[in-house]
Chains A and B, each alone.
Chain A
Amino acid sequence: MDPIQTLIKDLANKHGRTKESLLPIMQGVVERESYLSERSMVEIAREMDIPAADVYGTATFYSFLETKPTGKYIIRVCKTITCAMKGKTQVLFAIQEMLKIKMGETTPDKRFTLLETNCLGWCHKAPAMLINDNVYTELTPEKVREILSGYMKQNGINQN
């Protein structure tokens, strides 16, 4: 068995093989692999004896279950109306300019992935975004540049 199969078998042993175990198993894979590859979905289907299409359908329904390879840091900018009214677009421009990627893309060095998300529940401090599990609120272009610089420094990335 390769590492993916072992991981999924362990997760299935832990959470069970009934339908309601599908989400915790997928979360377990995402925790370790950062996303659900085609291969992992097939292995989940096999392990649970359910159709692969159902695994894919469930995976794509949830925003936090990625189905494409992502960078080390996933930036999720809130796309809903309050954040939009409070300057989300400018924030987004600043991020795209700084990382030189567009929405949905990953930087060539595999550090950052830029995504949109539905409401994060931070409307009172809009606009908001997540970087992995950390929340950043009341964003401005300046503030977001500062936050990203911090991450880049932490990873020894030269900003020029």
Chain B
Amino acid sequence: MSKKINLTINGFPVEIETGKTILEAAEKQGIKIPTLCYHKDLCVAGNCRVCVVEVAGQKRLSAACATPCEEGMEILTNSLKVRNSRKHIIELLLTEHNADCTKCYRNGNCELQTLASEYKIMTQDFIELVPLKKYSIDAYSPSIMKDDSKCIRCQRCVRTCAELQGVNALTVAHKGDEMKITTFFEKHMRDVVCTNCGQCVNHCPTGALVEKNYIEEVWEAIADPKKHVVVQTAPAVRVGLGEELGLQAGSRVTGQMVAALKRLGFDSVLDTDFTADLTIMEEGTELLTRLKKALVDKDDSVELPMATSCSPGWIKYIEHMYPEHLGNLSTCKSPQQMFGALVKTYYAKARNLEPDSIVSVSIMPCTAKKFEAFRPEMYDSGYRDVDYVLTTRELAILIKQAGLDFDKLQPVKFDRLMGESSGAAVIFGATGGVMEAALRTAYEIVTGREVPFENLNITPVRGMEGIREATIKIEDPVEDWAFLDGVELKCAVAHGLINAKTVMDEVKSGKADYHFIEFMACPGGCLGGGGQPIPTNPEIRQKRAEAIYAEDGALSIRKSHENPEVLKLYKDFLKKPLGEVSHHLLHTKYTKRERY
């Protein structure tokens, strides 16, 4: 136990552990000190100054986020001096901020706007600097838009890109009044090492970084009677969407989400979970095939460990940073792209539709998925496999625009053919989930028995630690997999690209002896994705994870290889995992990219 110290906040006594900041002490007292540059995911910057408080005996105000508590401190968080300073700071921030709020994508969910509203900034006492500066908008990326006129230079995005992701696509350049957040040589985001993960978007307090939205395109498709609009929804969306619609973090809204999508006018509401299960069939078989080649055939060309390939942010990261290791990636497309390829082939045929009359929309917790859908490899159906990708936030906008009272919607089930889900598919949305789903299936294929964990819950791969390891010993396998008898299958899970870097450096140096590694670009996995509701922070990620595992536990089918629709797909169309049709539609190749 660390030592406790005593202080007062606004005259009331507080006891708190040493090392805590004034901001944390105030929070404990139920006092909210406004912040902008502060974020629970990131290191303290102390540059926006809106959290200033008065400390008795000190002439100057202190930033609450950056000042540790001391014994006997007397802190005032709402004195006249504090209020006036804070108000001036907000006013000054607004002089440099394009405050044309009604035309801003973040209107209604902007931390600066909220503060301006709370402090009733009604007058303009300072010269507005926005018209004097040559701000630029970068709208070339298919995933992210960057508008410098709305940037308050709090640097949350820069810290996110460096600390959480280790990508460092964004930096602070120039100084003084010319200081700005930019990329290497001020290139467009699409032309630098940006992975499109969207964590910068999720951490931006204003509208300076937002997703490229495709809302109008989707409404137009829905309104076109000649188009059959199909929508798929990723596992993590159902545990995040509620937050955007006024519900508590961790609310499970699967049935209401399906009901809402039907009322929005989608012709068919299907589930990415279906292709998550399919991914397990393909990827699990791929892993076992690689293991066989390595262990039985002694084939040196087999690249192990095999790495998962569901997270498009991770894919772009490895393409930039470890291009020599692209052979380690599973060749499986992500569930979104498998779904897209099947919608315009298998689904079109079964429903007797012309593939070019189908508009394929996906709802993702992700901004990198927008980029992924644009990749030139993703036209295997003969058409663009996924036409539009919307984030969880964009879906919430659609629902609000349609005037749906989300709370009152009665839960509805997904449509058939590609709408069935196993619990294994649901947990794709959490870090460790793909690993757990793969193990549930692979172990059973190899041994004929269920994984030796209570209620199928492989708890060692769950949790929020950045890197986790697990070993499963294979004993008494069935005849086909006899060579795996006694093999200890070594697995690792990494989420957040900074952790992916640590694991990849070990793989690169030959120190890692894993067989299989799950990588997710975003902290917490997809449930903490760049397209998820804002704010996302450690507590919220935890709640969404609990919701994901509850959703898994509540389903009758918990294993991918028991999904009846997946079995039907193999019987009617694909024939077998890694077969010819799968190879053409469900697998892909990767592109070496420059690191600098």
Contacts and interface: CB of A to CB of B under 8 A. Distances in A.
Contacts of B175: 60-61
Nearest to B167: A51
Nearest to A56: B184
B595 to A, nearest CB: 8
A52 interface: yes
B184 A61 contact: no
A41 interface: yes
Output the residue of B167, B173, B183 with the most chain A CB within 10 A.
B173
B192 interface: yes
A54 interface: yes
Interface in A39-93: 41-42, 45-46, 51-57, 60-61
A52 B184 contact: yes
A61 B173 contact: yes
Contact of A51 (B171, B173, B182, B186): B171
Nearest to A59: B173
Interface in A15-56: 38, 41-42, 45-46, 51-56
Contacts of A41: 184-185
B596 interface: yes
B173 A42 contact: no
A42 B169 CA distance: 13
Contacts of B192: 53
B172 interface: yes
A55 B192 CA distance: 14
B596 A46 contact: yes
A87 B183 CA distance: 38
B542 interface: no
- A contacts with B: majority SS: helix
A54 B171 contact: yes
B517 interface: no
Contacts of B167: 51
A55 B172 CA distance: 10
Nearest to A55: B184
A54 B185 contact: no
Interface in B183-207: 183-186, 192-193
Contacts of A42: 596
B588 interface: no
Contacts of A46: 595-596
Interface string B146-168: 00000000000000001000011
Contact of B170 (A38, A53, A55, A61): A53
B174 interface: yes
A53 B174 contact: no
A23 to B, nearest CB: 15
Contacts of A55: 184
Contacts of A38: 185
Output the residue of B168, B185, B193 with the most chain A CB within 10 A.
B185
Nearest to A46: B596
B173 A56 contact: yes
A56 B185 CA distance: 6
Contacts of A52: 184, 193, 596
Contacts of B168: 51, 53-54
A51 B161 CA distance: 11
A2 to B, nearest CB: 16
Interface residues of A, number: 14
B179 to A, nearest CB: 8
Contacts of A57: 171-173
A53 B193 CA distance: 9
A29 to B, nearest CB: 15
Contacts of B184: 41, 51-53, 55-56
B161 to A, nearest CB: 9
A8 to B, nearest CB: 13
Nearest to A61: B175
Nearest to B183: A53
A55 B168 CA distance: 11
Contact of A61 (B174, B183, B185): B174
Nearest to A53: B171
Output the residue of B168, B169, B186, B596 with the most chain A CB within 10 A.
B596
A51 B182 CA distance: 13
A115 to B, nearest CB: 13
A38 B595 CA distance: 14
A128 B79 CA distance: 46
A51 B167 CA distance: 8
A54 B183 CA distance: 9
Output the residue of B162, B172, B186 with the most chain A CB within 10 A.
B172
Nearest to A60: B173
Interface in A126-157: none
B301 to A, nearest CB: 29
A93 B596 CA distance: 41
B212 to A, nearest CB: 21
Given A51-B168, A53-B192, A54-B168, A45 B173 contact: no
B572 to A, nearest CB: 49
Given A38-B185, A53-B192, A56-B185, A45 B171 contact: no
B176 to A, nearest CB: 8
Contacts of B162: 51
Contacts of B183: 53, 56
A38 B438 CA distance: 45
Nearest to A42: B596
A57 B183 CA distance: 8
12 contacts: A38-B185, A41-B185, A46-B596, A51-B162, A51-B169, A51-B184, A51-B193, A53-B192, A56-B171, A56-B186, A61-B174, A61-B175
Given A41-B184, A46-B596, A61-B175, 12 more contacts: A41-B185, A42-B596, A51-B169, A51-B171, A51-B184, A51-B193, A52-B184, A52-B596, A53-B170, A56-B173, A56-B185, A60-B175
What 3 A-B pairs have minimum CB-CB distances, sorted nearest first? A51-B168, A57-B171, A53-B171
